[in-house]
Amino acid sequence: MTIPWKDDYNLGIKEIDDQHKRFIGILNELYDAIKEMQMSEKVGAILESLDAYTNMHFATEEKYFETFHYLDAEHHKEEHKGFKAKLFELKNARFASESEMALAFTDALESWLIDHIATSDKKYVSLFHEHGL
């Protein structure tokens, strides 16, 4: 089941919103691969894309944390580390099938991403806006 982008996810920071939309897009690529039964052809590339994109996105946010002296930066960075650890754990876990693996990834990504945007990311919005983003 694909995840539609909702206006509730918008932070009003174009660069970050575009990156969050891409995360949803990667999640939907996994769902599509499951639905199309093309797991073995697509999952590895999608997961590599997810890993690279995660690093890039977190680096973007963390760069602004440092530049703008975001007071909750360390806590937010810990959440990022937790997510990367979860991805690493999932990538190294043994699953009965590729579809089980893809579902585990999509469930983890979807729940974490939606919660993270709705709670943690919303906390920095006013600071980023104050600095012109």
Instruction: Assess whether pLDDT exceeds 90 at residue 67.
Output: yes
**What one-character DSSP code corresponds to residue 71?**
T
Angle, alpha carbons 42-47-50 (nearest 5°):
125
Q: Which of 36, 44, 8 is nearest to 24 (CA)?
A: 8
Q: Which residue has the tokens 């599509």?
A: 32
Across the range 104-125, mean pLDDT stands at 90
Q: Tell me which of 55 and 46 has the higher pLDDT.
A: 55
Across the range 76-92, mean pLDDT stands at 91
Instruction: Assess whether pLDDT exceeds 90 at residue 92.
Output: no
Instruction: Assess whether pLDDT exceeds 80 at residue 64.
Output: yes
* Secondary structure (DSSP) of 104-121: HHHHHHHHHHHHHHHTTG
Q: From the options 1.20.210.10, 1.10.287.610, 1.20.120.50, 1.10.10.10, give the CATH code of 7-130.
A: 1.20.120.50
Return the domain boundaries, the chain.
7-130
- For residue 96, the model assigns a pLDDT of 80
Structure tokens at 127: 């600071």
- For residue 38, the model assigns a pLDDT of 67
- For residue 105, the model assigns a pLDDT of 77
**What one-character DSSP code corresponds to residue 120?**
T
Claim: this prediction has a pTM higher than 0.85 = yes
